[in-house]
């Protein structure tokens, strides 16, 4: 399936983006979007022709140079200089799925007809997206205000045949790819450089990507913790609906319901228990996992608003005959949301590591470190160390970036969001969580084996049968790195194959 998604004025949902990504859909401008873009550009051309007054970013310098007037014959050079001078990112490359989302979200923002770009500029961004020509962008350089200037400058460089792109796995000069596709470089007109560089698409793309990953990992946290509960001979009573209806946080209710569903018809959960209570890492799964779900809901609302917004500057209002310099590029809403997401995701890893620890502790009839002949075999001792190390790193990364601000541009830009730092930190936290959950699944699968001949639910038994094809029961010490890597791949493949997207 490879149909087209039309960029229009309709609300772009996260579920729609998920569908575009996983169905590998092409994108195209709707007739409405084409009309809005063209009308705004025509209006701006006419405005410049008949007005000599300075208009910020259109015939002036930028930032603290906003009072420097630029002559009409230098406007193209002004825009190209802007793109080149701002392309000063450094650090690691932005992951390619995030870059592709940046292209999509930049096209969406420009399609509303308040940015003054040429139609051919937007179309070239679409060409890049549809042909997987992905600009090489770097993770460091954005303050998360005045837009994501440095990353978006690298996104824009290939439009003018500069910079580098990734194409078919290789890094190429942009000029080479333009020649290969028979594309002429875009001759930027007034305001276009600023429209391309102002905006929050670096933060937004990271946020959308990480939300999709976080929903996936939230599902797996519930499933894997259910297996751990079974392996630890845990009690089902804390998941009773009555408990959660008297404290009706929606995430809490959903988590308890999901765990009950996972454990339907389980022999293990129904057997008589010798203990009265379980540790919090098992008993409070609904409360902890549920709070993360509620955070995901809040963060999703923030990003849904952002990806359907105009975030460059100045904004052009054709009907009102107004060009207004404002601050829609400021990333504060995203910075706070990304910091919140970091904390919520880190907590899923935090409680997961505690379950890992309980499973290897030799409690409730389980062998120490989940192997026979402990001593001769270290068993699952060190995977818990690894999880603890990762969880500690996540605690450090979860420290909020949004509480910081550094003055820039000679004091003109005197408060910034640092949302870009929050985004790249959040990326590490989310993928660290996946590693911790993989270690928990590895441990839980091993531990539940010792509960035979009793079985878990048909759902969990089926899941574990699939998993053990990749990662069998461990009888004696071996290289655990390979098992963790196989588990990571299994989680991704299982999620896609079973169409659990955005569950």
Domain ends where: 151, 175, 199? 199
Q: What's the rounded mean pLDDT across residues 45-49?
A: 88
Q: Residue 59: pLDDT band by 50, 70, 90 thresholds?
A: confident
Q: What's the rounded mean pLDDT across residues 454-479?
A: 96
Check residues 57 and 100 and name the one with the higher pLDDT: 100
Domain that holds residue 391: 206-497
Is the Cα torsion angle 402, 403, 406, 408 positive or negative in sign? positive
Do 169 and 290 sit in the same domain of this protein? no
3-state secondary structure of 186: coil
Place of tokens 């997401």: 341
Question: Given a cut of 80, is residue 71 above it in pLDDT?
Answer: no
So what's the pLDDT on residue 399?
96
Domain ends where: 155, 180, 199? 199
Do 27 and 81 sit in the same domain of this protein? yes
So what's the pLDDT on residue 497?
75
Q: Write the pLDDT tens digit of every residue in 334-378.
A: 999 999 999 999 999 999 999 999 999 999 999 999 998 877 889
Contact 215, 18 (CB under 8 A): no
Do 283 and 337 sit in the same domain of this protein? yes
Q: What's the rounded mean pLDDT across residues 136-160?
A: 96
Do 13 and 158 sit in the same domain of this protein? yes
Q: What's the rounded mean pLDDT across residues 38-45?
A: 96
Residue 503 lies in a domain: no
Percentage of residues of the chain with pLDDT beyond 90: 84
So what's the pLDDT on residue 65?
60
The tokens for 471 are 């990662």
Residue 30 lies in a domain: yes
Check residues 374 and 301 and name the one with the higher pLDDT: 301
SS3 letters across 266-324: CHHHHCCCCCCCCCHHHHCHHHHHHHHHHHHHHHHHHHHHHHCCCCCCCEEECCCCEEE
Residue 123 lies in a domain: yes
Q: What's the rounded mean pLDDT across residues 444-452?
A: 97
So what's the pLDDT on residue 499?
62
SS3 letters across 439-489: HHHHHHHHHHHCCCCCCCCHHHHHHHHHHHHHCCCCCCCCCHHHHHHHHHH
In the Cβ-directed half-sphere of 401, how many Cα atoms lie within 13 Å? Answer: 26
So what's the pLDDT on residue 429?
98
Question: Given a cut of 90, is residue 172 above it in pLDDT?
Answer: yes
Question: Given a cut of 90, is residue 412 above it in pLDDT?
Answer: no
Q: Specify the CATH number for the domain of residue 160.
A: 1.10.275.10
Q: Residue 317: pLDDT band by 50, 70, 90 thresholds?
A: very high
* Selected catalytic residue, list 56, 138, 357, 431: 56
Q: What's the rounded mean pLDDT across residues 369-388?
A: 90
The tokens for 31 are 């007739």
Do 76 and 188 sit in the same domain of this protein? yes
Give the number of domains in the chain: 2
Contact 202, 421 (CB under 8 A): no
Would you call 56 a catalytic residue per the annotation? yes
Q: Residue 502: pLDDT band by 50, 70, 90 thresholds?
A: low
Domain ends where: 199, 226, 253? 199
3-state secondary structure of 406: coil
DSSP label at residue 408: B
So what's the pLDDT on residue 262?
98
Do 360 and 214 sit in the same domain of this protein? yes
Residue 502 lies in a domain: no
What's the whole-number average pLDDT of the chain? 94
Q: Residue 62: pLDDT band by 50, 70, 90 thresholds?
A: low
Q: Specify the CATH number for the domain of residue 235.
A: 1.20.200.10
Q: Report the alpha-carbon distance of residue 197 to residue 87 in Å, rounded.
A: 10
Percentage of residues of the chain with pLDDT beyond 70: 96
Do 330 and 367 sit in the same domain of this protein? yes
Do 211 and 178 sit in the same domain of this protein? no
Question: 331-367 burial by CB neighbour count: b if 16+ within 10 A, else e?
Answer: bbbbbbbbbbbbbbbbbbbbbbbbbbebbbeeebebb
Q: Write the pLDDT tens digit of every residue in 230-269.
A: 999 999 999 999 999 999 999 999 999 999 999 999 999 9
Q: Report the alpha-carbon distance of residue 126 to residue 105 in Å, rounded.
A: 11
């Amino acid at each position: 399936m490879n149909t087209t998604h039309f960029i229009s004025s309709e609300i772009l949902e996260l579920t729609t983006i998920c569908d575009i990504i996983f169905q590998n859909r092409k994108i195209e401008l709707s007739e409405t979007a084409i009309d809005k873009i063209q009308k705004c550009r025509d209006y701006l051309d006419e405005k410049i022709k008949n007005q000599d007054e300075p208009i910020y970013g259109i015939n002036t310098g930028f930032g603290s140079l906003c009072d420097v007037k630029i002559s009409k014959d230098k406007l193209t050079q002004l825009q190209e200089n802007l793109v080149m001078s701002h392309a000063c990112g450094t650090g690691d490359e932005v992951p390619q799925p995030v870059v592709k989302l940046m292209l999509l979200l930049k096209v969406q923002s420009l399609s509303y007809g308040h940015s003054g770009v040429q139609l051919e500029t937007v179309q070239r961004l679409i060409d890049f997206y549809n042909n997987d020509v992905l600009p090489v962008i770097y993770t460091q350089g954005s303050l998360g205000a005045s837009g994501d200037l440095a990353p978006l400058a690298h996104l824009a460089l290939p439009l003018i045949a500069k910079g580098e792109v990734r194409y078919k796995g290789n890094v190429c000069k942009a000029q080479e790819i333009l020649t290969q596709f028979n594309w002429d470089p875009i001759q930027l007109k007034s305001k276009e450089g600023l429209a391309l560089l102002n905006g929050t698409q670096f933060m937004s793309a990271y946020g959308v990507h990480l939300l999709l990953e976080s929903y996936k990992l939230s599902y797996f946290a519930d499933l894997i913790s259910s297996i751990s509960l079974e392996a630890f001979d845990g009690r089902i009573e804390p998941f009773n609906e009555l408990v959660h209806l008297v404290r009706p946080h929606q995430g809490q209710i959903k988590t308890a319901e999901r765990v009950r569903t996972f454990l339907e018809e389980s022999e293990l959960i129904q057997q008589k228990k010798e203990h009265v209570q379980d540790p919090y890492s098992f008993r409070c799964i609904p409360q902890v996992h549920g709070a993360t779900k509620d955070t995901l809901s809040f963060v999703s609302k923030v990003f849904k608003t952002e990806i359907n917004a105009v975030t460059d500057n100045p904004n052009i209002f054709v009907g009102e005959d107004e060009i207004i310099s404002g601050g829609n590029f400021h990333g504060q809403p995203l910075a706070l949301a990304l910091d919140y997401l970091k904390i919520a995701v880190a907590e899923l890893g935090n409680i997961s590591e505690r379950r890992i620890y309980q499973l290897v502790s030799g409690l409730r009839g389980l062998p120490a470190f989940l192997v026979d002949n402990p001593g001769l075999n270290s068993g699952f001792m060190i995977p818990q160390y690894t999880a603890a190390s990762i969880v500690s790193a996540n605690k450090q990364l979860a420290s909020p970036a949004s509480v910081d601000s550094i003055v820039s541009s000679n004091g003109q830009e005197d408060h910034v969001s640092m949302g870009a730092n929050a985004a790249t930190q959040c990326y590490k936290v989310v993928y660290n969580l996946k590693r911790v959950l993989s270690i928990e699944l590895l441990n839980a699968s091993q531990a539940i084996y010792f509960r035979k001949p009793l079985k878990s639910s048909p759902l969990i038994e089926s899941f574990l049968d699939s998993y053990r094809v990749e990662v069998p029961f461990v009888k004696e010490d071996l290289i655990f790195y390979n098992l963790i890597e196989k588990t990571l791949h299994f989680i991704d493949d299982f999620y896609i194959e079973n169409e659990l997207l955005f569950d």
